[in-house]
Amino acid sequence: MAKAKKTLQPRELASLDVETMFRRLSDAMPGNWRDDHGGAKGPKGQPDAFRACVACMLSAQSLDTNTAKAAEQLFAIAKTPEAMLALDDDTLIDAIRPAGLYNNKAKSIRKFCAALMERGGTVPESRAGLMEMPGIGRKCADIVMSFTFGANVIAVDTHVGRVCNRTGLAPGKTEAKVAERLDKRAPEWAKAEGHFWLIQFGKKICTSRAPKCSDCFLRDLCLWENKAR
């Protein structure tokens, strides 16, 4: 009988180190600033839950600048689910073309709008309710909950996921798994601003290529750095 392969469990920071890490992040990283002073801003920046959901759907595998252009073009001609369903396919696709994957995204947007209309046009405010909607996954649900509804939720994007896996804060094979683990491990006081601290840390210090470990204020806690020594 063949021996079962051993599954290596991801290393995690101790609970006390998680608390310390968030304390340091809160001191060093900008929070949810809504001005032009360099702080983190909501990644979708839309004025209502419907447009936030659509913009999030457009952002899949798209650069922020391309997503912003596609969202601007789309919302210039349709700002409601009724208006979007009234668009013909060519018009919808042309509007969102900058975001890429426009054929699939157009279909997802139509399904989302149709489902929304079936429930009276109201976007659900809970994670479970949002994830029941076509095209809305865990990341998009958390982004809408955080930025639109003001829930204390840490949304996990590429930067946050990298930091969580690399440091041992909340390892997981997918962004959804990281989000589940992070929700359990992050202290409640840190959840309102945690996304902003982590995303700025990931952009400025714990970068994808050539992370600035020698200048990192989390170096003594980070499992990736300690393992690399």
CA 128, 131, 134 angle in degrees (round to 5)?
A: 145
The answer to whether the beta carbons of residues 160 and 195 sit under 8 Å apart is: yes
CA distance 133 to 64: 23
Encode burial over 106-120: b for 16+ CB neighbours within 10 A, e otherwise.
Answer: bebbbebbeebeeee
- Cα(103)–Cα(95) distance, rounded to whole angstroms? 11
Handedness of CA 112, 118, 122, 124 (dihedral sign): negative
Residue 162 in contact with residue 178, Cβ under 8 Å?
A: no
Pick the catalytic residue: 44, 139, 142, 177? 139
Which tokens is 156 given?
């996990």
The C-alpha torsion from 88 through 93 and 96 to 97, rounded to 10°, is: -160
Residue 94 near residue 107 (C-beta atoms within 8 A): no
Active site residue 139: yes
Contact partners, residue 136, CB within 8 Å, separation at least 6: 53, 56, 57, 112, 130, 144
Active site residue 69: no
Residue from 157, 173, 203, 204 carrying the catalytic annotation? 157
Q: Which sequence positions are flagged as catalytic? A: 139, 157
